[in-house]
Amino acid sequence: MSVFVTRDETLPPAYSQALESHALPPLWTALHVLLPKERVTAAVPHRWSWREARPLLHEAARLVPIEQAERRVLVLENPGLKGMYRITSTLFAGLQVILPGETAPSHHHTPAALRLIVEGEGAFTTVDGIKCTMERGDFIITPPMRWHDHGHEGATPVVWLDGLDIPLVRAFDASWVSPLRPARVPEPASDAAQAEFRWPWRATRGALEGLAASTPKDRPVTRAYVTLTGAPPVATMGADAHWLRPGERARAGRSTAGRVFHVIEGRGRSRIGETELAWEPGDTFVAPPWHWIQHDNGSAGEPACLFSFNDEPAIRALGLWQEERP
Ligand code: 1HN
């Protein structure tokens, strides 16, 4: 199926027919779509309410056995990209739920994954044999081609936010997954061993709180998640933690990267382009590329913490990075 009309109605029909049958469409009718005068995205700013999503996720856990689902995920699909299973043109996001005693079998794939734990305790994910504890607010990565599975030794459902670069990988026709392998019960792993894949929220929150105390009021309090060598967590995706001081209004500018935000703590609102989105803990919202972003921790007397992931490393690597600061 063609996404835009390439037939030039002013040409002789027989000539157009000949072009079509030789796989030689004219460029001149499509040039404005291939190269618009300004950046365009079909993705729209949107917020998924945790209050609305939570009961639907828990219902999925009742309705769909893990054996059938493999990964029990509800996709955070951008309303501007219906049927495309993506939150921006390059990023996938979803909410995954696992019940006590369940295991999601092991597999590996070319897309990279990252996770932010939303609710519950007692679950773990095993990455390349390293058992990573999942506690609320923890950030955990699964780099490309690493075997990974999930288990749950606790008592209540555990939910996390999944972020993957699937649409980007699919643009290269490079997306595939290994056959499944039953998950093996992993040995506990030391904090040092987990540090390759896991950033505990406890440590990140402490660092943010310290940073907030020493940062001038007009400067944003943000910490990028980086590996031990200072690199982005995976080659295609970056991630940050943001701390909004009580009453703070943080102008974050705009850039060519798409960004997904998740509320770990606090209440506020964000202006994404022309759209105002109110948020509370557990909510997820998306800022498509080249939209102005401004977060507002309203009048609440409490700090707010936002997690965010983005396609900035990928777009930088392609030479397409651009940003504007307020
Ligand atoms: C996947 O393998 C996981 O391993 C989560 O937990 C979400 C979304 C699309 C494709 C594969 C996981 C996924 C996924």
- The tens place of each residue's pLDDT in the chain, 326 residues long, gives 355 667 889 999 999 999 999 999 999 999 999 999 999 999 999 999 999 999 999 999 999 999 999 999 999 999 999 999 999 999 999 999 999 999 999 999 999 999 999 999 999 999 999 999 999 999 999 999 999 999 999 999 999 999 999 999 999 999 999 999 999 989 999 999 999 999 999 999 999 999 999 999 889 999 999 999 999 999 999 999 999 999 999 887 999 999 999 999 999 999 999 999 999 999 999 999 999 999 999 776 899 999 999 999 999 999 999 999 98
Distance 31 CA to ligand 1 centre (A): 36
Q: Which residues pair with 181 in a beta bridge?
A: 106
Residues with CB under 6 A from ligand 1: 71, 73, 92, 94, 96, 113, 148, 162, 164, 166
Query: H or E element: which one contains 47?
Result: strand 46-48
The Cα 263–Cα 282 span in angstroms is 5
Are 15 and 52 in contact by the 8 Å Cβ rule? The answer is no
Q: Structural domain boundaries of the chain?
A: 46-198, 201-324
Same CATH fold assignment for domains 46-198 and 201-324: yes
Distance 140 CA to ligand 1 centre (A): 13
201-324 — its CATH code? 2.60.120.10
What pLDDT score does 1 carry?
39
- Give the residue, by CA position, lying nearest to ligand 1 atom 14: 71
Distance 184 CA to ligand 1 centre (A): 18
- Give the residue, by CA position, lying nearest to ligand 1 atom 7: 162
In Å, what is the CA distance from 154 to each residue of 25, 119, 190?
59, 12, 19
Atom in ligand 1 nearest the alpha carbon of residue 75: 8
The Cα 218–Cα 252 span in angstroms is 12
What pLDDT score does 89 carry?
98
Atom in ligand 1 nearest the alpha carbon of residue 142: 4
CATH domain 46-198 topology:
Jelly Rolls (2.60.120)
pTM of the model: 0.96
Alpha helices in 116-243 (DSSP H): 166-171, 191-194, 201-214
What pLDDT score does 4 carry?
63
Are 86 and 92 in contact by the 8 Å Cβ rule? The answer is yes
